[in-house]
């Protein structure tokens, strides 16, 4: 077994597909390919997967992802038609208008997930800036980037997980998590920059993250209420929903949570105003998507 191999854990019934990040003696360090989970496992417990698309774990995830994407595109089409009708009614005629979705700053501890996230932002025409940065450095990087980018929405994500051999009562201690403390530190920086939760929407966490701690320090949305695995694109779905919800409306909590792949045990949040605006007349300007260089 070597770095880069795709594997499943036999003791867990092969429920999640992983990539081997490192091998240390008889232990492999693993990162989920679809779920934002950081784990380790004894090498004898692992089976190498030659054809990942044929595995039950991958097939089930693909079905959920496709359903979420279809729902997202359908909502976006409905909203565009609704905006056009509203403008026509207000102006008593058809009038070209322009849309200003909320701008996203996305920090990700996983380069592959960042690439997938930026592709989805681009597909949905969400202005976005992304940076691959280790979870431990997110607070410092965010402190530097917030005044520069001036985003409407910040996504703070990567990998996380509950440390092994922890008692149930320890789930409310940040020391029981691999990266939740780093996410908390980054959220604090965001809230020092903008204290109004409607002025800057913060989406934070990864698999099994300390949901309560992230909300307490100022996240609008966070993972993971049920300490379960969340899909790599769940934070992105929430960010897109926030970007395209009108500033006159609150983001529908039920819609956004149940629209994710992980559902209510995976993500949760508080009432939050959207960041989408409509303007007149239509100028010749387009939103941009970029991956930042440090």
Which position has the token pair 């983001």? 251
Q: How far apart are CA 76 and CA 59, in angstroms?
A: 26
3-class secondary structure, 38? strand
Residue spans of the domains in the chain: they are 6-52, 96-291
Confidence band of 68 (pLDDT split at 50, 70, 90):
confident
Q: Indicate the average pLDDT of the chain.
A: 89
Select the more confidently predicted residue: 97 or 102: 102
Please report the pLDDT score of residue 59 as a whole number.
81
Alpha-carbon dihedral sign for residues 130, 64, 226, 28: negative
> In whole angstroms, what is the distance from residue 29 CA to residue 43 CA?
10
**Residue range 270-280, pLDDT digits in tens:** 999 999 998 88
CA dist 267 and 223 (Å) reads: 4
Mean pLDDT of 120-126: 94
Lowest mean pLDDT among 159-168, 205-214, 256-265: 159-168
Residue 63 pLDDT greater than 60, yes or no: yes
CA distances from 252 to 41, 136, 249, 257 (A): 39, 32, 9, 9
Instruction: Give the fold, CATH level 3, of 96-291.
Output: Rossmann fold (3.40.50)
Residue 46 in contact with residue 8, Cβ under 8 Å?
Answer: yes
Which pLDDT band holds residue 224 (cuts at 50, 70, 90)? very high
Q: Is residue 183 within 8 Å of 138, Cβ to Cβ?
A: yes
Band the pLDDT of 101: cuts 50, 70, 90.
Answer: very high
* Rounded alpha-carbon distances, angstroms, from residue 101 to 192, 196, 244, 245: 24, 19, 6, 8
């Amino acid at each position: 077994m070597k770095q880069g191999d795709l594997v499943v854990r036999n003791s867990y019934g092969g429920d999640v597909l992983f990539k081997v990040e490192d091998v240390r003696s008889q232990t492999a360090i693993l990162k989920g390919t679809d779920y934002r989970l950081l784990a380790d496992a004894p090498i004898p417990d692992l089976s190498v997967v030659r054809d990942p698309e044929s595995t039950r774990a991958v097939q089930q995830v693909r079905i959920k992802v496709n359903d979420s994407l279809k729902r997202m595109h359908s909502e976006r089409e409905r909203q565009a038609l609704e905006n056009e009708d509203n403008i026509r009614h207000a102006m008593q005629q058809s009038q070209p208008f322009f849309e200003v979705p909320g701008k996203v700053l996305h920090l990700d501890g996983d380069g592959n997930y960042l690439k997938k996230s930026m592709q989805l932002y681009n597909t949905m025409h969400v202005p976005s800036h992304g940076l691959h940065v280790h979870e431990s450095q997110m607070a410092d990087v965010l402190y530097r980037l917030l005044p520069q980018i001036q985003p409407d929405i910040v996504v703070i994500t990567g990998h996380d997980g509950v440390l092994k051999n922890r008692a149930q009562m320890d789930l409310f201690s940040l020391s029981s998590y691999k990266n939740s403390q780093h996410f908390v530190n980054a959220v604090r920086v965001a809230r020092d920059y903008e204290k109004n939760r409607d002025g800057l929407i913060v989406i934070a966490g990864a698999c099994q993250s300390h949901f309560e701690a992230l909300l307490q320090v100022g996240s609008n949305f966070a993972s993971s209420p049920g300490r379960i695995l969340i899909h790599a694109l769940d934070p992105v779905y929430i960010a897109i929903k926030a970007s395209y919800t009108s500033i006159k409306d609150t983001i529908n909590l039920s819609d956004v949570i149940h629209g994710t792949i992980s559902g209510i045990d995976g993500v949760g949040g508080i009432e939050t105003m959207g960041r989408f605006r409509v303007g007149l007349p239509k100028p010749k300007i387009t939103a941009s998507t970029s991956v930042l260089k440090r």
